[in-house]
Amino acid sequence: MKSLVFDSSAIISIVTNDLLWSLSKLKEKFKGQFYIPEGIKEELIIKPLDSKKYKLEAIQVLSEVNKGILEIYSNPRVKERAKQIADRANNLIRARGNWITLVSQNDMECLALAEYLNSDALIVDERTLRLLVEDPKDLVKLFERKLHSKIEVNKDNLDFFKDEFKKINILRSTELMSVGFEIGVLDDYLKQNGAKVEIDLKKNLLEGLLWGLKLRGCAISEDEIEDIMKYYR
């Protein structure tokens, strides 16, 4: 069965840009399932409901779960696999004698679930998880630059991430929503209903979409946004 697995970072970018409504239309076009693992439910719904700052966003996500747009997937094998992956990730890079905590087990639950279901893609905006899957060597270089110091790398764990997840496709919210833009999911924003504004509305919608997602959490560079905009010119 076709499926997408969503990490909390991507859902947060989508909901804080008031785009959560678009998931139902995307799911209809995709003709598959949209999943979040049980651990991500804790991050997106349970904990925020006890806060003031993110309570509204948590209720909006809960609404999509109650409608069946986002489905919560619970499986003990996925949780166990997530623990194994998290242990590897958090014993990958050592600086000043200490292993650096790179990920939470909840984040790894998303990766483990995408692997378990052989999902079409894992939707994740957070850079660390994405680089662990796509280019763990680049993640090591990133931490060398950030820490301004020599780091040690556990080669066995580096090889684990280089080899283990080659079949996992990673998409960010920007790529997912760009697909939505292209197939007409966001066309309601282009209806002016007589209130004409003298701008290229479609181009500005795409640019606003990409920058909104970037500024609210998606790890995408300005150069990448420019490349996408060139494609649509």
State pLDDT tens for residues 14-57.
999 999 999 999 999 999 999 999 999 989 999 999 999 899 99
- pLDDT reported for residue 86: 97
Q: Which fold has domain 1-77+104-138+165-233?
A: Rossmann fold (3.40.50)
- pLDDT reported for residue 138: 93
**Cβ atoms of 111 and 133 closer than 8 Å:** yes
pLDDT (mean) for 193-215: 83
State pLDDT tens for residues 78-123.
999 999 999 999 999 999 889 999 999 988 999 999 999 999 999 9
State what percent of residues in the chain have pLDDT above 70: 96
**Cβ atoms of 44 and 8 closer than 8 Å:** yes
Nearest to 130 by CA among 87, 70, 174: 174
pLDDT (mean) for 1-22: 96
- pLDDT reported for residue 96: 86
Q: Say yes or no to pLDDT of 225 above 90.
A: yes
State pLDDT tens for residues 178-201.
999 999 999 988 886 655 555 688
> Is the whole model's pTM more than 0.85, yes or no?
yes
- pLDDT reported for residue 195: 57
